[in-house]
């Protein structure tokens, strides 16, 4: 059975004191839910402080992005090794806000995936369609293209160290949520894609999170779907009780 995984993407929010307090609150509550993997992904400037705040707890820390080069003249970027050096276990890659606001391509995401794996990080690779693409019946094609491009050259052994996150762009920060059936349909398609490229054992093992306006009051129905293995949580991860309510739903 795949172990549930709930990760909080704090995006560009909070100050240092708020980030440390939020991390401490999550760490304090996390022992109640030992059957669920939990991670928090603060802004990069707070990674070290948050790592210290969750020390001794099962909570993992993730970066929201890395650059694919090892080092060099890349002003404003951080490398995979730097993320590891400040305590990161995970890194979010290919989030729709980076794809659609900052112009990241599947090739960019792929290069970052390769760099993350080489550094020992667990990539959380995001995939998802625009509203216009869903309305045009293109969801399956878009997900396939993003999967093939973002995970090009990834071996069967490597894919077992990757988490996928289905995040329909139209549901991120909008208050709209994919229905449990809509989420399950795409997650099922992703398992078929995994089985086609690798094998059924790999498809059965890889965890696929759902992301897009997940809250404590809708998490249970989404997480009850057989192919939904957790959630990548945005705004609801900024409050301890709301976030831990989602973790509690996963624990059930």
Q: Which residues are catalytic?
A: 95, 167
Give the torsion sign (CA, 38, 233, 242, 61). positive
- Supply 113's token pair: 């995936």
- Supply 143's token pair: 């997900």
In angstroms, the CA 124 to CA 161 distance is: 10
Closest by CA to 228, choosing from 169, 164, 171, 175, is 164
Asked if residues 165 and 208 have their Cβ atoms less than 8 Å apart, the reply is yes
Asked if residues 42 and 9 have their Cβ atoms less than 8 Å apart, the reply is no
CA distance to 36, 106, 113, 234, per residue, from 153 (Å): 30, 13, 10, 29
């Amino acid at each position: 059975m795949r172990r549930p995984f709930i990760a909080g993407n704090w995006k560009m929010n909070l100050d240092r004191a708020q980030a440390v307090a939020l991390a401490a609150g999550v760490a304090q509550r996390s022992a109640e839910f030992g059957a669920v993997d939990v991670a928090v992904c603060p802004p990069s400037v707070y990674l070290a402080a948050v790592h210290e705040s969750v020390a001794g707890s099962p909570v993992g820390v993730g970066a929201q992005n890395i650059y694919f080069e090892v080092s060099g003249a890349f002003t404003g970027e951080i490398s995979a090794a730097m993320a590891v050096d400040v305590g990161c276990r995970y890194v979010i890659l290919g989030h729709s806000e980076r794809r659609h606001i900052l112009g990241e391509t599947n090739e960019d995401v792929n290069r970052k995936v390769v760099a993350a794996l080489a550094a020992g990080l667990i990539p959380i690779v995001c995939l998802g369609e625009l509203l216009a693409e869903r309305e045009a019946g293109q969801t399956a094609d878009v997900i396939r293209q993003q999967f093939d491009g973002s995970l090009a050259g990834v071996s069967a052994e490597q894919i077992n160290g990757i988490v996928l996150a289905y995040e329909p762009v139209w549901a991120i920060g909008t208050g709209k949520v994919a229905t449990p059936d809509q989420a399950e349909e795409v997650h099922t398609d992703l398992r078929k894609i995994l089985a086609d490229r690798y094998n059924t054992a790999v498809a059965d093992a890889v965890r696929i999170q759902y992301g897009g306006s997940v809250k404590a009051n809708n998490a249970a129905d989404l997480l009850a779907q057989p192919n939904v293995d957790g959630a990548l949580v945005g705004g609801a991860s900024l409050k301890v009780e709301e976030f831990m309510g989602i973790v509690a739903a996963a624990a059930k």
